[in-house]
Structure 1
Amino acid sequence: MSTVFNFTFVPWFRSVAPYIHKFRHQTFVIGLTGEAIAAGKLQSIAQDLAMIQAMGVKIVLVHGFRPQVNEQLAAKGHEGRYSHGIRITDSIALDCAQEAAGQLRYEIEAAFSQGLPNTPMAGSTVRVISGNFITARPVGIVDGVDFQHSGLVRKVDVAGIQRSLDMDALVLISPFGFSPTGEAFNLNMEEVATSVAIALKADKLVFVTEVPGILQNPDQPASEDNPIDTELPLAQARQLLAHVPPSQQPTDTAFYLQHCVKACQGGVERSHIIPFAVDGSLLLEIYVHDGIGTMIVDEKLEEVREATADDVGGILQLIEPFEKDGTLVKRDRTEIERDISNYTIVEHDGVIFGCAALYAYPEARTAEMAALTVSPQSQGTGDGEKLLRRIEQRARLLGLDSIFVLTTRTMHWFLKRGFKPVDPEWLPEARKRKYNWDRRSQVLVRKL
């Protein structure tokens, strides 16, 4: 039994190591919905955040409290009122919000203070610092509706939060803000988390929510044939939002997506929507290649796109050195021009730094990823993984079940990313006929 455990644990831990190195000293802002806490997920989420912090990540945790405030209001015989997707915070609702925030703050601090033996928290020392980091302004009167004590973020105390993070503390922020005159305002957790992430120039904004992520086809329920879109370029996320009205309901996927888009536009390179219903979703999203939810990526000056005829020269220039040293099979210009629609490229400032091609075999419900190439100048920056994700995305859209590669020198790179070796006899008949038995390429398959 222990031998089996070793064979599974050691490769897994090694596959996680690059992400541990990559995220050390980075800053993540986590937006935790009140629904997650109401569902009893606080303990496990606190344990996961403690582990993430132990691996060198600086964490700002912004909690929500929608259901808790509604519960307090119901106990007082008072009904919650909303307009434009914002709570109308009268004096009773403000009292309820303050009570709920105080109670949740103590619950969260208690969750991070547990150090019981034989639990993930054993030996952990997570110092939690909270405070008046948010300056707010009133929403005011909109379309004749007076929002009273509901507010919007005016300013984030970046220096104060940064000092706390530099002391290795976890910063806890409630969705409250205060005016310069000391007046309290009830805020929207999603807006607070987004504003904090932008102000801190955070590396990630992660919403832990009741929605699983963005479906590849938003009009149909999730299924094996319609999985979560694990990565959305910012431009594509904007297009999705352009086809739906602005969402004012926190339970709508578009509600979280619009905040993710705002964060990316404000300089946060990656924002995520993940489900609290999946145990360990934070760990799965951050330390596993495919993640568990949807990541929106601001690719800035870098673009991952399908190739056009204008890119043939750049692709030839990129792959030529790898053809000469035998890493790649030689392809002439005519072949690349003929198949250019199969190619995906990574472009930095108009220069092609990576490419890959997809050749589908629909009768076998699979496709070959060929000519995966990354310039030596950008190796180690994640361009190969970006190309792999985009090729997988194209294969899924074709309704395929797997992708395969033939390689003689880069087998380990693919094994680390979930590919499994198979016998060349596995290949689709049409591809088997073209297999070069002298070259003896390894065949590796990854299920989608």
Structure 2
Amino acid sequence: MTDTQEEKNLEQEELQEEEESIAPWVQWFRGVAPHIHSIKNQTIVIAVSGEMIERGKLESFIHDVSVISALGSKLVLVYGVRPQVERLLKLQNIRPSLSNNIRITDPETLSCVKEAAGEVRLDIEAAFSQGLPNTPMAHSHVRVVSGNFVIARPLGIIDGIDFKLTGIVRKVDSEAIHQQLNNKNIVLVAPLGFSPTGEAFNLTLEDVASSIAGAIKADKLVLLSDVDGVRRFGEVISELTAEQAEEFVEKGLVDQEDIYNLGYALKAIKKGVDRVHIIPYFLDGGILGELFTHDGVGTLITEEHMESMKTATIDDLQGLIKLLQPLEEDGTLVKRPREKLEADISKFIVLEHDGIIYGSAALYAFPEEKIGEMGALTVHPDYQGKGEADKLLRQIEKQARKEGLTRLFVLTTRTAHWFLKKGFRTASLEELPLKKRDLYNWQRRSQIFIKDL
């Protein structure tokens, strides 16, 4: 072997080692890229609990918010001050007054609310202004703008209890907020509102956040809470429809804190917000985990389920190619030229989640023989083990029956056992339609399975 050949071999070995070392990162980045794309130019309202700030989580949260902003999202931060107000009341020997977990705000309490709101606002502004040293966002310039964006009115007298200077949102100056967002500013809103005569009212964080989200038609509302999502029978539910959430609230199927959060989530959705996320503030990086992973870290509430099964269109072509390509490269699936996929796109059923194609199957009908072929049955590895392949098979069978077919066949080299479990039987080449027999690939030696419909 020549020196030149040895050098080339060494270079190839070094390149392979380098590829192996970065492979996990590359795989992660490719996986997160669609989520990054999906939040670009989206308007997101985030409700920041005072408890999160009180427990020293502000700096890491500001870092994460700066990342989200840098990726092109328009952000409104609404912050709460409940524990800060409690601390000030205690220092001034003022006894807190609550009814149904709602604070009754007299003038002395309102003074504490104003002081707490001012202190927290300065802390948040200072955290953004320090340039995030020792992080990838170092020296980034994030502008934060506050203002009197919320008009409020008194909550009034409920069940004989006068809530005094406790208020609820009456109106949001959505035009002013949009103007600041379009100027690439992060909008910061305190849990205070003002009447047209200048009177101040103490508002709840969730009321302000959900009202603003609805008024500006935000794409997302994120409620940072001291719970890790909505729990049912001790398990966090990763996704709920608005209808399911309403049932949970009306029938009391979850605890009071979940009912409280779901109430404001439903309020936002009814006002046109696409998605509401309830996530734990105590989980470091939780907001990133919620927005940039498939399953998230808390509970997502939407008008309808984000996962959908549909007939593929030309707009799904790129996603379908990306899904099938790895299996074509390792020989699990037969390679399909782009032109062939494009021509057959209407034969495909796809599973989609949040704009990402993660499952597919195709039906090729042979009407004269009343038989159909199911091809390209695929589920992305991240979604396997959840019954998604069963959904696709059922849909293909349903479509085949609709087209008057009485049998369904598949050709496979690696998943024989699965098809046998699903009611298929081993078949011979002679049982296939004549056109398919002529195209049989003897090099692949695929096994043939048929199912009566």
| Residue 343 of structure 1: aligned partner | none
Seen in structure 2, the aligned counterparts of structure 1 residues 380 and 82 have a Cα distance that, compared at 3 Å, is closer
SS at 1:171 equivalent: strand
Match of 2:168 in 1: 152
Deviation at 1:13, TM superposition (A): 0.9
Determine whether 1:373 maps to 2:339: no
Alignment of 1:429-444 (within 5 A): 431=421, 438-439=445-446
1:103-148 deviation per Cα after TM superposition (whole angstroms, max 9, x unaligned) = 0001111111122543143032110000100001111222221111
Tell me which residue corresponds to 2:130. 114
C-alpha separation in 2, matches of 1:293 and 1:299 = 17
Question: CA contact under 8 A between 2:63 and 2:132: conserved in structure 1?
Answer: no
- Secondary structure of 1:102's counterpart equals helix
Q: 1:428 to 1:191 in 2, by over 3 A?
A: same
1:245 and 1:92 map into 2 onto residues whose CA distance is 38
Pick one of 216, 235, 241 that aligns with 2:249. 241
Aligned residue for 1:123, secondary structure, equals coil
- Seen in structure 2, the aligned counterparts of structure 1 residues 381 and 99 have a Cα distance that, compared at 3 Å, is closer
Question: Match for residue 182 of structure 1?
Answer: 198
Cα distance in 2 between the residues matched to 1:410 and 1:386:
8
> Post-superposition shift, 1:16?
1.2
Whichever residue aligns with residue 118 of structure 1, its letter is N
- Is the contact made by 1:34 and 1:65 (CA closer than 8 Å) also made in structure 2? yes
CA distance 1:101–1:194, shift in 2 (3 Å): same
> 1:313-333: per-residue Cα shift (whole Å, max 9, x none)?
xx9xx59xxxxxxx9xxxxxx
| Aligned counterpart, 1:280 | 285
Task: State the TM-score, normalized to the length of structure 2.
Answer: 0.68
Residues 73 and 79, structure 1, Cα contact 8 Å, conserved in 2 = yes
Matching of residue 232 in structure 1 with residue 234 in structure 2: no
String of CA shifts for 1:8-28, please: whole Å, max 9, x gaps. 111111111112222111100
Q: Distance in 2 between matches of 1:140 and 1:47?
A: 39
Whole-angstrom CA distance in 2 between matches of 1:419 and 1:9: 24
1:229-283 CA-to-partner distances (Å, cap 9, x unmatched) read 1111111111111111998x6xx12111111111111111110100112111100
Match of 1:165 in 2: 181
Number of aligned residues: 345
Would the alpha carbon gap of residues 78 and 426 (structure 1) be closer, same or farther in structure 2, given more than 3 Å must change?
farther
Q: Distance in 1 between matches of 2:274 and 2:103?
A: 30
Q: 2:275 aligns with which of 270, 275, 284?
A: 270
Contact residue 246 and residue 255 of structure 1 kept, 8 A? no
Q: Give the alignment partner of residue 62 of structure 1, picking from 78, 86, 92.
A: 78
For 2:277, the aligned partner's letter is: H
Cα distance between partner residues in 1 of 2:157 and 2:129: 42
State the percentage of identical aligned residues.
43
1:382: Cα distance to partner? 3.1
Equivalent position to 1:205, from 221, 246, 250 = 221
Residues 440 and 5 (structure 1), Cα distance of their counterparts in 2 relative to 1, 3 Å cut: farther
Measured in 2, the distance between the counterparts of 1:440 and 1:279 equals 49
Matched, 1:382 2:336: no
Aligned residue in 2 for 1:414: 380
Secondary structure of 1:28's match?
strand
2:108 paired with 1:102: no
Match in the other structure for 2:36:
20
Q: Structure 2: which amino acid aligns with 1:173?
A: V
Which residue type is aligned with residue 241 of structure 2? Answer: P
- 2:104 match: 88
Matched residue, 1:331: none
Structure 1 residue ranges without an equivalent (≥5)? 306-314, 320-326, 328-370, 388-406, 442-448
The residue that corresponds to 1:8 in the other structure is 24
Using the TM superposition, give the Cα deviation of residue 89 of structure 1 relative to its aligned residue in structure 2, in angstroms: 0.5
Q: 1:95 and 1:416, CA in 2 relative to 1: closer, same or farther beyond 3 A?
A: same
Instruction: Please report how far the alpha carbon of residue 435 of structure 1 lies from its aligned counterpart in structure 2 after TM superposition.
Output: 8.6
- Preserved CA contact (<8 Å) 2:350 2:358: no
Q: Deviations over 1:45-89 (max 9, x none)?
A: 110000000000000000011111001101111121111332100
Q: Counterpart amino acid of 1:254?
A: I
* C-alpha separation in 2, matches of 1:259 and 1:427: 48
Change (3 A) 1:168 1:417: farther
The 8 Å contact of residues 43 and 75 in structure 2, kept in 1 or not, is answered as yes
SS state at 1:254 partner: helix
Q: Does 1:38 align with 2:58?
A: no
RMSD: 3.6
Contact preservation (8 Å) 1:47, 1:120 = no
Is the 1:70–1:80 contact (alpha carbons within 8 Å) kept by the matching residues of 2?
yes
TM-score by length of 1: 0.69
Question: Is residue 2:333 matched to residue 1:291?
Answer: no
- Rate the CA distance shift 1:200–1:386 in 2: closer, same or farther, 3 A: farther
Which amino acid in structure 1 is aligned with residue 380 of structure 2? F
3-state SS, counterpart of residue 172 of structure 1: strand
Are the counterparts in 1 of residues 350 and 359 from structure 2 also a CA contact under 8 Å? no
Which residue identity is paired with 1:260?
A
What amino acid is aligned across from residue 162 of structure 1 in structure 2? H
Give, as a single letter, the amino acid of the residue that structure 1 aligns with 2:349.
T
Gaps of 5+ in 2: 1-16, 313-319, 321-346, 361-373, 387-412, 427-443, 449-453
